[in-house]
Chain A
Amino acid sequence: MKKFTILLYVVLTVGLMIWGYYQAIYVAPNDAMQGEIFRIIYYHVPSASVAFLFFAISLAGSIGYLAFRRNHPERAQVADAWALAGAEVGVVFCTVVLITGPIWGRRAWGIWWTWDARLTTTLVLWLIYVSYLLLRRFAAGPQMQTLAAVLGIFGALDVPIVYMSNRWWRTQHPAPVFGGAQGSGMDPSMVGPFLWNMLAWFAWGMMVLGIRYWVERRSQANAAADARQALNA
């Protein structure tokens, strides 16, 4: 039953991705000002939203690890696995944002990159979580998970700054399309394709996050078995 549910979820997700692509390319109209290049929005914005969500999951996992590490070691390991999975898959989505953004910017603004608030804070966010992953990869010893959890909490503090950056400061990056000032928003003919792509990328992201979490739990089980074996030797 569990295998069937997972398979069904994967099939639905792949179906959603195909449907989202169809909506983005064949249903949504070209933007009146930007033309076809505007269609990058259907990949760029959902990727940013998923990255933010996963960094929030990483934050919750990091807090959970710090809360449980002394009295509930098993719960702490679960929280740590979520923290790692959220950070790693979040970095993947954030990388997509940082590559598709400049491709879009090159056509829309005539430049690949500028050190404006939105772009810079996003790059800093990416660098913080890459540091987090490097710490987890190369640091050793019992303090590694604790240090990573602290870094994960600090890293998440940048997420609201990234989100608010083009509200707080005048930036090269456009003002928010949703939840922005009066007059912001999207043409109704684009809203449907946009929401389908949001749903599709969330479903895809959750699938990848689930796989990463499961791989980490298996890795933890192997490490625990190794430790038991070493104690018995």
Chain B
Amino acid sequence: MDQAAILDHQFRVAAYVITWVIQLGYLAWLGMKWRTIKRDARP
């Protein structure tokens, strides 16, 4: 594998990882928000 292909691979992996960090991070934030709202819910 030449240097350019290695860099392409690393950049592609970085893009995929960042995408999932953003998506799952947002989902986790939503989960925390939901827990707060559920805790504060009025009867």
Contacts and interface: CB of A to CB of B under 8 A. Distances in A.
B9 A36 contact: yes
A102 B1 CA distance: 24
Contacts of B8: 34-37, 107
Interface string B25-41: 01100100110011011
Interface string A81-101: 000000001001001100110
B15 A103 contact: yes
Contact of B42 (A35, A96, A100, A225): A225
B40 to A, nearest CB: 6
Interface string B1-36: 000110111011011101100110011001001100
A37 B22 contact: no
A204 B19 CA distance: 13
A37 B30 contact: no
A40 B12 contact: yes
B12 A92 contact: no
A222 B11 contact: no
24 contacts: A34-B8, A35-B4, A36-B9, A37-B12, A39-B12, A40-B12, A40-B15, A43-B19, A44-B15, A89-B26, A92-B26, A95-B22, A96-B18, A96-B23, A103-B14, A208-B23, A208-B26, A208-B30, A211-B30, A211-B34, A218-B38, A222-B40, A225-B41, A229-B42
Interface residues of A, number: 31
A218 B41 CA distance: 8
A57 B33 CA distance: 22
A204 B11 contact: no
- Max chain A C-beta neighbours (<10 A), residue from B12, B18, B30: B12
Nearest to B41: A222
Nearest to B31: A211
A222 B42 contact: yes
A212 interface: yes
Given A37-B8, A222-B41, A104 B15 contact: yes
Contacts of A39: 12
A18 to B, nearest CB: 12
Contacts of A100: 15, 18-19
Contacts of B16: 40, 43
Contacts of A221: 41
A226 interface: yes
Nearest to B9: A36
Given A36-B12, A40-B12, A107-B11, A96 B5 contact: no
